[in-house]
Chain A
C-alpha cells in the first residue's frame, strides 16, 4: 500500500513539472513576458526590476530554474488586477469553492447511486427510461446555459431562490444543481452499466442461490464493484468538474476559484491565471491521490498491479 501511494505521488510530481513547464513555455512564447506580467502602466524602472528578479536577461534554462524556485516557495507573481501576490488571492477564494464542490458531489452520489441501481434492476422500466432521458439531456446541456435557465425559472419567474452570490443555504441550491447535473448524468450511466454486468456475474448468482436477501446482495456484492468504474474514470469527471466550476461560479457570481479563473481571463491577468493553473494542478493531484487510495481500498486487486 505504501509503495502504491509513493508511486502515485511521484506520478503526480511528474505531472506538476509538465504543467509548470507548459505554463512557463506559453508565458515566453509571446516574446516579452514582462508585458504579460506587469500592468500596462508600469514604469521603465519596474520593468527593469522585473527583468532582474526573473533573470530574463539570462539563458532560458536559468529562467526556468528561477521560475520553479519561486513557484516552490509559493511565489507565482503579483496579480495585475488585485495588486496582491497571486497565491494569496487564490487562497482567499479557495474556501468558497471547497464549499460548493462537495455539495455538488454529495448531490451526484445521492441521486446517481439509487437511480443507477434501480435502472439496472428494473431494466426498461419507468425509472430506467426517465433516468436515461435525464442522463442524455444532462450530458447535452451545457453547464453555463443550465445555470442561466435555472435562474430564469427559479429566480426571475418564481422568485423562490436567489440568483447570485453567497449567503444562507438557499444560495447553494442553484449552483449545486448546475454543477451536479453533469456528474449525476455521468455517474448514473456508469453505475447502471456496471451494475448490469455484475448482476449477470457468477458470484451474484451464487449469492442469490445461497439465499441471501436481495438488499444484502446488492449492497454487499454489487455496489462495491459497481463503484469501481466511477473511480477509474474519476480523472475524466475531475476535468469536467473544473470546467463546470469555472462556468457555474461565473454564472452565479460565486466568489470561488472558478470565478477567479474567469476574472483572470477577462482582465488578461496573466500572473493570476498562471497561479490559478499551477495551484489547481496541486489541488487536483491531492484529490486524485485520495481517490486512488479509495480505489485501492474498494478494489484490493489494484495494489498488486
Chain B
C-alpha cells in the first residue's frame, strides 16, 4: 500500500482552513480599495514591506487577503458543482446501467454527445444570456462533469446487477427503485468518492478558466482565475499579480490530483485506466 500523500494533505488542509477562517486570518478587506497603496510588491522585493506580505493589486487590495478569500470562492463553487454535476451523473449512471435497454442506449448517446461537444462553449453561452453569478457557474461546470460520472458509474452497475444479492432482492419482491437506492447505490459509493476527488482539480481549473474569461463570479469578489486575469496586463511591471494566484491554483490542483490518485489506488484500483 502506498503511504499517505502528506504533501497533498497539507496543501488541501491549508486551503480548507484558509477558506473557513479567511475573515479572521487577515486584518484587511478583500474588496475595499486603497489606491495610495496600489501595486506594492511582495515583502522580499526591494520596495516591498511586511505590511503586505504578498504585495497589493491594482486597487491597493492586499494580495494575501484576496488569495485566502479566493480559496473560499473556489471551494464553494467546487463543492456545489460536484454535488450537482456528480449527483446527476451518479443518478443517470445507475438508471442507465440498471434499467438497460432503450433507456440505456438513449442516455449513453447523450453522454457521447456531451463528450463530443466542449461544455465550455455552453458555459460561456449561459454566462452571456443568464448573466454571471454563482448559479450560472455551478450549472456550467456541472454540464462539464455529469457525463464522465455517468459513464463510469454505469460500467460499475452493469457488473453489479449480475450479482446474486441483486437477484435475491428481486426474488424478495423489492421494487426497481428500492433495488437501485438500497442495493446498488451503496455499492458504487467507493467509485463515486474516487471520481469526486479526481474531479476536484478539473473543477478548480474550469472555475479559474471561466473567471479568467469573464464568465465566472463577477468582480470584485476575489476568485483566483479573476486575479490572474486582472494582473495579466501588468505582467511587465507587477509580476506578482498574475503569477502568485496561478501558483496557488497549480499547487492546489496538483495536491487534489495526487490525493485522488492515492485514493483510487486505495479504494478502487480497477479505475486505474482513467
Contacts and interface: CB of A to CB of B under 8 A. Distances in A.
B209 interface: yes
Among the interface residues B112, B129, B235, B239, which one has the most CB atoms of the partner chain A within 10 A?
B129
A156 B239 contact: yes
Interface stretch (A106-114, A133-141, A220-228): A133-141
Nearest to B208: A142
A156 B243 contact: no
A250 B213 contact: yes
B235 A151 contact: yes
B116 A270 contact: no
Q: How large is the interface on A (under 10, 10 to 19, 20 to 34, 35 or more residues)?
A: 35 or more
Contact of A261 (B119, B121, B201, B236): B121
Given A30-B129, A156-B235, A264-B128, A144 B117 contact: no
A93 interface: no
Contact of B212 (A27, A136, A247): A247
A212 interface: no
* Residue of A142, A149, A280 with most chain B CB atoms under a 10 A cut-off: A142
B125 interface: yes
A139 B257 contact: yes
Given A145-B242, A148-B242, A284 B128 contact: no
Contacts of A151: 235
Contacts of A284: 116-118
Contacts of A239: 115, 117-120
B111 to A, nearest CB: 11
A146 to B, nearest CB: 8
A72 interface: no
Interface in B38-78: none
A140 B129 contact: no
A103 interface: no
Nearest to B202: A139
Contacts of B14: none
Contact of B116 (A23, A156, A235, A273): A235
A145 B228 contact: yes
A236 B117 CA distance: 9
Contacts of B117: 15, 18-19, 239, 281, 284
Nearest to B242: A148
Which 6 A-B pairs give the minimum distances between C-beta atoms?
A: A145-B246, A140-B254, A239-B118, A242-B118, A140-B253, A235-B115
